[in-house]
A and B are shown apart, each in its own frame.
Chain A
Amino acid sequence: MKKTEIIEGYLGYMRESIEVVEKTREKRLKETFPLMSLEEREEILKKFHPDYKEEAKRPVKVGPNKGDLMPHEVADLLEAYPLAKPKDIDLSKVDFDVDILIIGGGGAGMTAALWANYTGANAENILIVQKLRLGDSNSIMSQGGVQAADKPNDGPGLHYLDVMGGGHFTNDKKLARRLVSDAPMLIKWHEDLGVIYDKEPDGTMVTIHGGGTCRKRMHSARDYTGLEIVRSLKDEVLNKNISILEFTSAVELLTDEQKQIAGAVLYNMETQEYYVAKAKSTILTTGGFGRLHIQGFPTTNHYGATADGIILAYRVGAELRDLDAVQYHPTGAAYPEQIVGLLVTEKVRGLGAQPVNKNGDQFVYPREPRDVEASALIRECYERNNGIETPTGMKGVWLDSPMIEMLQGEGTIAKKLPAMLRQYKRFDIDMTQDPILVFPTLHFQNGGVIVKENAETTVQGLFAAGEVTGGTHGKNRLMGNSILDYSVFGRIAGITAAKHARKAKIGKLTLDHVTKYKKMLKEAGIETDRKAPILLPEYRGEKVLSHILEIF
């Protein structure tokens, strides 16, 4: 076969490697590659994990976290000027006056809205502001599952250990405890909402391992876990008549003379007008930063993941943590080009598929915590040169998916990974017969805005939940804990915000903090055209961008 001929989705030279992989499969079915020791983990991270590249980060020059190391892409946005000039915003005319303003309508935002409503906030006094459509978020794309220690052979204690170990013991202990203690309750709530989790005929939850788990506690809804939960949440939010503004971003938070948060300046993405939204409690649930393409990595994240929340929070003086801890999902699709970077869920490994190099050999335990696993794949491709290179220069290793059919029975992939099977079939690849090519992809913001156990940030009147927050996962999140994060802390944020709103009194609205921030930037010698938040990434073609005239 010709090296460049395409046979069932793969090029000829890739097929040659697949043949080698097939030859070693029988042997590998019975083998388990050993786990790394904690020391080995440290070593591989230092040498290969993108977070440890010194040139990729710098100390940020301004703000509460001045001096902390952050990826350039994040520091660039914190060291950037506001989108709106305070003098252009007329704060005397308030367009929305609500009890609770929720910035970001994904899993965390919707959960917060519902629990605020359940605990007494009226639907018309809750406003969800959403940059795209309600539900458009990273939450919708989770595939593999959500952790909760609800089986008899498991318990919150073991879950806590897994969370702390995965986070390299840097996690905020109180947040970690809360995460694991509330987990079963949130799964139960999902059940009551009508979320259809995979179950045995007698109602027992079907649970499997994830990376870094010591018990099989990942609950899933086929490989549509995120979608199934989000569409149920979205339906409930709409049924409850909670107010929603779609295609509207928050570009700046508002404060009052007591320096508490008083709402936000909103921006209609389509009509370009601004709105002044006054609120007694403001919740940030803006998600992650994948579309900043840190270190040039492709990403699994949705279109709107541009770190808006941490910028808004930083401008009002909220403290952040662990922004230098970027999670690269070990297995993003590396081929074909059309889907590069998209998530290949950890569930594939949870069901038994092994990462295999071009020679058909295993090189890492399939389910190390994500940062360790990602580092191993990077080492395999770039130091040991045992990866496959695609026509676009992307490197990757095989993930031997046919093993799943052999270990779990024919038809398992169709039953448990229907979304992925379909995705590859579109490009003529049958993952039940052939392995798929993977490489780490930018996936999750481990750090973020600091919150207390009750979801309060370090600024009064501002709450936060979900991926925008830091501390729960320490330096590295385990699979299945992000859905759990937004569920547990989304709920808490909603309840706390509702309680706060009952007592809060908002004074005169001001954007003084923005003026102060600009002064701070100038004093630090930051001269730049950069503006933040960026709201959406720029993907227009080079040729077009070089010819843009802004005349209309």
Chain B
Amino acid sequence: MSEEKKTMATIYIMGKAYKVPNTLTIMKAIEYAGYRFIRSCGCRGGFCGSCTTFYRVKNDYKLYVDLACQKRVEDEMYIVQLPFIPAEKPKWDLSKMKPTTDEVIRVFPEITRCLSCNVCTEACPQDIEVMRAIQALRRGDLEDVVNLTFDCISCGACSIRCPAEITHYQVFQLARGLYGKYETIPAKHLMERVKEIEAGNFDDELSKLMDMNVEKLKESYQKREIEK
């Protein structure tokens, strides 16, 4: 197996040029260049939304957004990171609210300023149709919002770009919370099982299992049937 020769790329971290191996992700490239992350680094796996990174590439006027932990560097890339979105989190009590889109708009009235410009969708590193989700709220369709925004990791790229200054990730969290609490059907078998456990229906069985010595326990373990 021939080793991949280390080809270097030049990246500009907030304007300063560094040569880094071109197979690295932006995150690893920044570390290679000598920066130790305190901000802008979390799960390193694409789930936490802490490493939102804006960049341009030479000879291209367009502004791009991606997650530093997933995006591989490009030669002549100009980057800056966004470790935090300035926004107050409004406090709410789901138990005192109704599962309507009106309720969400009441908490975030700036949603009504949406121009339908679609910049939010273009900014999203998770391929979420952000504008569609906001408009679904305007159209009264809470379920649509949930399905469209399930993959949201609250990276905030959409919110920073939005001319109407909506903080989409907060809006979507409220919408999903209301839907989850009121619009999904509570699992009946779950409620019943909780009651059975409270009533002590399984106490004897568990005590018996706990009292078994290791050999007996192993036997019971090996005898158990695996559901198909």
Q: Which positions in A face B, CB cutoff 8 Å? A: 4, 13, 38, 132-133, 135-136, 140-141, 148-153, 155-158, 160-162, 164-165, 169, 173-174, 177, 180-181, 184-185, 187-188, 191-197, 199, 201-205, 209, 214-216, 221-222, 224, 226-228, 231-232, 235, 238-239, 241, 247, 269-270, 300, 302-303, 337-339, 342-343, 389, 391-392, 418-419, 422-423, 426, 536, 538-541, 544
Task: Note all chain A residues with C-beta closer than 8 A to B72.
Answer: 338
Residues A247 and B39 in contact, CB atoms below 8 Å apart:
yes
Knowing that A188-B191, A191-B186, A391-B2 touch, tell me 9 more A-B residue pairs with CB under 8 angstroms: A133-B42, A164-B217, A193-B180, A203-B186, A204-B189, A224-B47, A238-B89, A238-B91, A422-B126
A214–B226 touching, CB < 8 Å: yes
CA–CA, A216 and B92, complex, Å: 36
A150 surroundings in chain B (CB, below 8 A):
187, 189-190, 193-194
Residues of chain A within 8 A of B184, CB atoms compared:
191, 196-197, 199, 203
Please name all residues of chain A whose beta carbon is closer than 8 Å to the beta carbon of B178 when the two chains form the complex: 194
B47 and A164: CB pair below 8 A?
A: no
Task: Give the interface centre of B45, B48, B176, B214 by most chain A CB atoms within 10 Å.
Answer: B45
B209 in contact with A157 (CB, 8 Å): yes
Contact of A227 with B47 in the complex, beta carbons under 8 Å: yes
Given contacts A158-B224, A422-B126, contact A231 B210 (CB under 8 A): no
Query: Do B180 and A196 touch (CB < 8 A)?
Result: yes
Contact with A along B197-227 (1 / 0, CB 8 A): 1000010011001100010011011101111
Complex Cα–Cα for A165 and B224 (A): 11
Query: Once the chains are docked, how many angstroms separate the CA of A148 from the CA of B190?
Result: 9
Within 8 Å CB of B177, what residues of A?
Answer: 193-194, 232, 235
**B residues near A231, Cβ cutoff 8 Å:** 154, 173
A132 to B38, CA, bound (A): 7
Closest 9 CB pairs of A and B: A203-B185, A544-B34, A194-B180, A194-B177, A194-B181, A541-B32, A165-B221, A150-B193, A196-B180
In angstroms, Cα B125 to Cα A426, docked, is 10
Does the CB pair B197–A184 fall under 8 Å?
A: yes
Shortest Cβ distance from B20 into A: residue: A541
- CB–CB B227/A199 < 8 A: no
B185 engages A539 (CB within 8 Å): no
A157 in complex: contacting residue of B93, B127, B206, CB < 8 Å:
B206
Let me know if B190 and A184 touch, CB within 8 A: yes
A157/B190 contact (C-beta < 8 A), A337-B23, A540-B35 known: no
- Give how many A-B residue pairs fall within 8 Å (CB-CB): 218
CA distance A165 to B50 in the complex (A): 38
Given contacts A177-B210, A191-B190, A232-B180, contact A303 B4 (CB under 8 A): no
User: Is the beta-carbon distance between A539 and B221 smaller than 8 angstroms?
Assistant: no
- Could you name 22 residue pairs across A and B whose Cβ atoms are closer than 8 Å? A13-B1, A140-B48, A149-B193, A155-B202, A169-B218, A177-B206, A181-B206, A191-B190, A196-B180, A199-B184, A203-B184, A203-B186, A204-B187, A204-B188, A205-B187, A224-B47, A231-B173, A338-B70, A339-B70, A423-B70, A540-B35, A544-B33
Distance to closest chain B CB from A314 (angstroms): 25
Candidates B89, B127, B210; contact of A173 at CB < 8 Å: B210
Q: Are B33 and A302 in contact (CB under 8 A)?
A: no
Proximity string of chain B (18-36) to chain A, C-beta cutoff 8 Å, 1 when within and 0 when not: 0000011100100111111
Q: Are A193 and B181 in contact (CB under 8 A)?
A: yes
User: B186 contacts which chain A residues (CB < 8 A)?
Assistant: 191, 203
Question: A157: which B residues are within 8 A, CB to CB?
Answer: 202, 205-206, 209
- Report the separation of the CA atoms of residues A152 and B150 in the bound assembly, to the nearest whole angstrom: 29
A303 and B35 in contact (CB under 8 A), knowing A216-B227, A239-B92?
A: no
Report the minimal beta-carbon distance from B71 to chain A, rounded to whole angstroms: 8
A124 CB to closest chain B CB (Å) equals: 14
A262 nearest CB across to chain B (Å): 28
CB distance B197 to A269 under 8 Å?
no
Q: Whole-angstrom distance between the alpha carbons of A222 and B147 in the complex?
A: 11
A224: B residues at CB distance < 8 A? 47, 150-151
**CB-nearest residue of chain B to A303:** B41
A185 touches B197 (CB 8 A): yes
- B94 on interface, CB distance cutoff 8 Å: yes
Which chain A residue lies CB-closest to B177? A194
Determine whether the beta carbon of A133 is less than 8 Å from that of B33. Answer: no
Cα of A235 to Cα of B190 in the assembled complex, Å: 24
**Residues of B close to A173: CB separation below 8 A:** 210
Complex Cα distance, B192 from A155, in Å, reads 12
B36 and A540 within 8 A (CB): yes
* Complex Cα gap A232–B151 (Å): 14
Which of chain B's residues have a CB closer than 8 A to the CB of A185?
A: 194, 197
B190:A187 contact, CB within 8 angstroms = yes
Residue pair B47, A140 in contact (C-beta under 8 Å): yes
Any chain A CB within 8 A of the CB of B60?
Answer: no
CB neighbours of A426 from chain B (8 A): 70-71
Q: Is B13 in the interface zone, CB < 8 Å from A?
A: no
**Judging by beta carbons under 8 Å apart, are A391 and B150 in contact?**
no
Q: How far apart are B197's CB and chain A's nearest CB, in angstroms? A: 6
Q: How far is the CB of B226 from chain A (nearest CB, A)?
A: 5
| A222-B152 Cα distance, complex, nearest whole Å | 13
Closest residue on chain A to residue B90 by CB atoms: A239
Q: Are B1 and A203 in contact (CB under 8 A)?
A: no
Contact B151 A303 (CB under 8 A): no
Q: Decide yes or no whether B43 CB sits under 8 A from chain A.
A: yes
